[in-house]
A = this chain, B = another copy of it.
Amino acid sequence: MTQQATKLVIVTEKLLLKKIVQIIDEVGATGYTVVPAGGKGSRNLPSSGQPTVSSDNFSNIKFEVLTPNRDMAVKISDEVAAQFFDDYSGIAYLCDVMEILHAHSF
């Protein structure tokens, strides 16, 4: 089952979790992983009531989505950025995955 893939990483605010899951589903990725995250950006907009994100509480989330090609990853990222990155802090980037060794139901 060896195959290459692109990994899309999105770190953004926790309250967007469900909306981003919906975008991932709609674009057609078959699975994703999400982990709690803290961190710091330089956002100063009071859009979510906090000037910056503290690293002590985990009020961010980090998505990792394996996609079969770059196009699908970019489509998800573009949609997330268009809908949310004017108002919320976030970053989206791509990493190479060398090979998927085994996958069951992901």
A72 adjacent to chain B (CB < 8 Å)? no
A28 to chain B, nearest CB (A): 12
A104 adjacent to B86 (CB under 8 Å): yes
The residues of B that contact A11 with a CB separation of less than 8 Å are 33, 106
A81 adjacent to B105 (CB under 8 Å): no
A41 adjacent to B30 (CB under 8 Å): yes
Known: A38-B33, A97-B94. A17 touches B55 (CB 8 A): yes
Interface bits A62-106 vs B (CB < 8 Å: 1, else 0): 100010000001100110110001101111111111111111111
Q: Which residues of A contact B (CB under 8 A)?
A: 5-8, 11, 17, 21, 30-45, 55-56, 58, 60, 62, 66, 73-74, 77-78, 80-81, 85-86, 88-106
